[in-house]
Amino acid sequence: MKKKKKRQDWVFDIFNYLIIGIITILCIFPFYYVFIYSISDAKLAEQGISLLPKGFSLQSYITLFKLNDIPHAIFISVLRTLIGTVGTVLACSFFAYLVSIPEMWFRSFIYRLCIFSMYCNAGMIPVYLVIKGLHLTNSFWVYIIPGLAVAYYIILIKTYIESLPASLRESAMLDGAGTLSVYWKIVLPLSKPIIATIALFTAVGQWNSWFDNKLYNTKAGLKTLQLVLYDYLNSSSVLQNMSNLDLAAGRASQMTTPMSLKVAITVITILPIIIVYPFMQRYFTKGIMMGAVKG
């Protein structure tokens, strides 16, 4: 039988929806603002935009996609995202599985060493020297190999695996399954929520990453989309600043502005994640909570 709502329940509900509605708008509005700015006329948009776009222009996107490097850069970014995500997920999950097995030698020591790396970082220069010593500079694999083992993800996955019944593993081993079989056929399928979470984190990180490209790779053929856009934006900003000071150049009919390019770059950057996230969301919410419970 449906309970009749009292007056205070109604008040609470209204207040609740109001607050949540406001927070939702506050969360969504920045994305909305960036999107409408990117499709507005750049010169009109400079005068300020509030709720609706001013004019309509895709010139910023056209300008960006006309850059010579863009198609190849997109390919590199997609490749590193795919390979990096799969690599990190497999490496972290397998490592986490191994350190969750009681029979594993030195598992505490290895696991603690892994945790230690979360708190202590040698710094940029030693890391660069290691990367260079491993001949990973000017190589595609610098995007993948250093990011294969991430301590935080290992903790999450290990915690999740430990919540699985030990009897599953034991019965599988009684039936003749080896470590790899147990990992591949039992642990990994059951860990879908946390795996999806890690995959999403990694994919976002790989997609957005540009500093490793800037630091380790100077070859044009290994440039990622983010660095191409970053370099172009820096050049445009400088040119615009120069044109602001140089009155003659400043009067040029500007079809794009640094701000319009920035927002277009932002949209290009976040669009793939926004597209992918709804499919991963159900795993994400479940996984992050289950991984966090025992800590």
Sole binder of another protein in the list 208, 254, 266, 269 (CB under 8 A)? 254
**Cα separation, 126 vs 258, whole angstroms:** 35
Whole-number Cα distances in Å, 263 to 270, 290, 295: 11, 36, 38
Q: Does residue 139 interact with another protein by CB under 8 A?
A: no
Of the listed pieces 102-110, 153-161, 266-274, 276-284, which binds another protein according to CB under 8 A? 102-110
Q: Does residue 109 interact with another protein by CB under 8 A?
A: yes
Smaller CB distance to another protein: residue 130 or 271?
A: 130
Q: Does residue 110 interact with another protein by CB under 8 A?
A: yes
E-only strand ranges, the chain = none
Q: Does residue 165 interact with another protein by CB under 8 A?
A: no
Nearest approach, Cβ of residue 278 and another protein (Å): 33
Q: Does residue 208 interact with another protein by CB under 8 A?
A: no
Give the residue carrying structure tokens 């220069």.
125
Q: Answer yes or no: are the C-beta atoms of 118 and 153 closer than 8 Å.
A: no
For residue 218, give both structure tokens. Answer: 């100077």
Nearest approach, Cβ of residue 262 and another protein (Å): 10
Smaller CB distance to another protein: residue 82 or 239?
A: 239
Whole-number Cα distances in Å, 17 to 12, 20, 21, 179: 9, 5, 6, 50
Long-range contacts at 184-189 (CB < 8 A, ≥ 24 apart): 187/93, 187/97, 187/161, 188/93
Smaller CB distance to another protein: residue 197 or 256?
A: 256
Q: Does residue 58 interact with another protein by CB under 8 A?
A: no
**Cα separation, 162 vs 223, whole angstroms:** 40
- Picking from 102, 190, 209, the residue whose alpha carbon sits closest to that of residue 150 is 209
**Cα separation, 162 vs 252, whole angstroms:** 64
Smaller CB distance to another protein: residue 140 or 277?
A: 140
Q: Does residue 75 interact with another protein by CB under 8 A?
A: no
Sole binder of another protein in the list 21, 30, 71, 178 (CB under 8 A)? 178
Nearest approach, Cβ of residue 132 and another protein (Å): 5
Q: Does residue 189 interact with another protein by CB under 8 A?
A: no
Of the listed pieces 84-92, 154-162, 210-218, 287-295, which binds another protein according to CB under 8 A? 210-218
Smaller CB distance to another protein: residue 122 or 293?
A: 122
Q: Answer yes or no: are the C-beta atoms of 97 and 178 closer than 8 Å.
A: no
Taken in order 47, 225, 277, 152, is the CA torsion positive or negative? negative
Q: Does residue 164 interact with another protein by CB under 8 A?
A: no
For residue 177, give both structure tokens. Answer: 């399954």
Residues contributing to the site for another protein (CB under 8 A): 46-48, 63, 69, 98, 101, 103-107, 109-110, 113, 124-126, 128-130, 132-133, 137-138, 173-174, 176-182, 211, 214-215, 218, 220, 223, 231-232, 234-235, 238-240, 243-256, 259
